[in-house]
Structure 1
Amino acid sequence: MGSTAKQQPDREEVAAPESRFKNLMKKLVRNKSSLIGGIILIIFTLIALSTLLSQFRILPFDLMTHDPTSTDVLNDFESPSSEHWFGTDHNGRDIYSRIIYGTHLTLYVGVLSVAIGAVFGIVLGLFAGYYGRIIDSVIMRVSDVLLAFPGILLALAIVSALGPSLNNVIIALSIYNIPVFARITRASVLEVKSVEYVEAVRALGAKDGKIIFQHILPNVGSPIIVQASLQVATSILSAAGLSFLGLGVQPPTPEWGAMLNSGRSYMWDNPHLTLFPGIALVLIVLGFNMLGDGLRDALDPRSKK
């Protein structure tokens, strides 16, 4: 045939939509609150990781300048100097090294207690919101009873019953975090379970487990993520409060709340004993709160920013 084959028209290249994660990161970077909070948390996370890695001699350097638990009574109550950057406490221990070491304990307690509480709370909230009726009533009434107590008092009661230790603090804070996430998840499920796509999947014969975990859970994650960030800050403060009362991490393990407790008797003559641990605690809590505020603005579809 003499006729030439028709050339196909050029297809318009359609740009692939940005992933939700990439879009979220752009919003967080543009948000000053989340940016500052993220930088603070990255610094503390790197400090915690470097401390752990240096203990196993994986890193060639160590941020700690002294052994955080070794005592030197001949050099107690030293003011900040080139030898001891944050000074020494009543036992001659280097405060800077103790704060650096205590960073991973603080993050460990805060993040792990929220993670455990979130797992159980999300599952309970999913079932309460999806099934309703008697299951909803039982789960929500138990949650109301737990939330009726202030977080620190409930944790104090649990740790007092179990005994003072790091693991018991995590258990106590996890129990308090469960009803918080259960209520948030339940409220989100009640909004999502009646939308069209969920009804369509149910009409096609999908089982409840598939509907709950594959279609409802991915669409209720935004408020959970925001609450998790804010809840870590609350758990860190509660853990420090328990250690301040002598029910958390036990001496001589460096922990910021315990350091505040041991230095409060000398704070008027030697303010550096409580000043630097207090600043570290304020900064890490501020970081999580600022990141949580930024996440709320970025994940809120009604936000105009």
Structure 2
Amino acid sequence: MMEPLHSMDNNQTSPSNSARSKRWNDIFYKLRTNKSAVIGGGLILFFIFVTIFGPLFTPYSPNTQDMVNKLQPPSSEHWLGTDNFGRDIFSRLIHGTGLTLIVGFSSVALGATVGVFLGIISGYYGKRTDSIIMRTMDVLLAFPGILLALAIVSVLGGSLVNVIIAVAISSIPIFARIVRSSTLSVKKLEYIDAMRALGASDRRIIFKHIFPNVTSPLIVQATLSIATAILSASGLSFLGLGAQPPTPEWGAMLSDGRNFLYNAPHVALFPGIAIVIVVLAFNILGDGLRDVFDPKTKD
């Protein structure tokens, strides 16, 4: 009796794996031909390249002060000028790129991990488990993301690590609700019932058959959430609750430059432009991914 069941299991999963592989090949093809995805992805790759190799070519240390040359406008010596402590803004922007991306990726990775786990458990088991998890998520969603992050950082204290934790917590409900909705749809499919009939454990069904089928909306949301996380982290640093001096974080640099908008606008201008570009890049990529993963998209 066991051999036919085992054979049936192989026949059930092989077509599924083949179809999944074909689907991902189609997705990669659409990505290459989607202008938004290419532009957004190219900008993000550029920022990653700057993060890795940029600090090797910066002309000055990001924290070296030169009070004699403070608030200097852009010149051949200081390409983007200097701040109120005479520090080279270009060097600080380059070194701050890595911090910005780390905060964005880390907070979303942490929030998505917890949110995906809660969403799958909630959608798969349902009943009381679903009620408890979803009501908790509803409480968190009742607060605007930046306000919730602000409250958490106020309790934990101002630091870059605490900002990552705060932004991650504020993003958990979004991922939980998206994954729960997808899980509810997938678990009703016939092949999930077939897996149960063949004696597959809940763990196997969740990780091998349900999770791979909920990744599409998850990838899109993660990309858009990184942009939101960068904005939130920059906002907290702007308020003095994030990165602490002399860390070259873009939000903190923007905060330092707000007092010199009239006599030295470049101090705040360039960090602001950098934040806009990186957030725009993730939003453009997210829009491209949404078009690619949308089943209604025409080839």
Say if 1:68 and 1:98, in contact at 8 Å, map to a contact too.
yes
Correspondences of 1:104-253 after superposition (within 5 Å): 104-253=98-247
Match of 1:47 among 20, 45, 50: 50
Distance in 2, matches of 1:290 and 1:47, equals 19
Shift, 1:271, TM fit: 1.1
Give the whole-Å Cα distance in 2 for the aligned partners of 1:263 and 1:22. Answer: 47
TM superposition shift of 1:268: 1.7
Which one-letter code corresponds to 2:93 in the other structure? I
Deviations, residues 41-77 of structure 1 (Å, cap 9, x unaligned): 01000011114xx6xxxxxxx2311111010000011
CA contact (8 A) 1:77 1:87 kept: yes
Alignment match of 2:31 (pick from 15, 28, 31)? 28
Q: Deviations over 1:12-60 (max 9, x none)?
A: xxxx997544432321121111111011101000011114xx6xxxxxx
Correspondence for 1:58: none
Name which of 79, 83, 96 aligns with 1:89. Answer: 83
Distance 2:297 2:187 in 1: 23
- TM-score scaled to structure 2, two decimals? 0.91
Tell me, which stretches of 5 or more residues in structure 1 are unaligned? 1-15, 55-61
| Range with greater deviation from structure 2 (224-233 or 31-40) | 31-40
Pairs aligned (count): 281
**1:179 shift after superposition:** 1.1
Residue 70 (structure 1) aligned with residue 73 (structure 2): no
Conserved? CA contact 1:63–1:100, under 8 Å: no
Distance 1:86 1:23 in 2: 43
Q: Which runs of 5+ in 2 are unaligned?
A: 1-17
TM-score w.r.t. length of structure 1: 0.90
Residue 299 of structure 1: how far off its partner (Å)? 1.2
Report the identity percentage: 59
What amino acid does structure 2 have at the position aligned with 1:275? L
Question: Is the helix fraction higher in 1 or 2?
Answer: 2
Q: Within 2, Cα distance between the matches of 1:296 and 1:40? A: 18
2:41 corresponds to which of 26, 38, 42? 38
The amino acid that maps onto 2:177 is R
Larger Rg: 1 or 2?
Answer: 1
| Whole-Å separation in 2 of the counterparts to 1:82 and 1:148 | 51
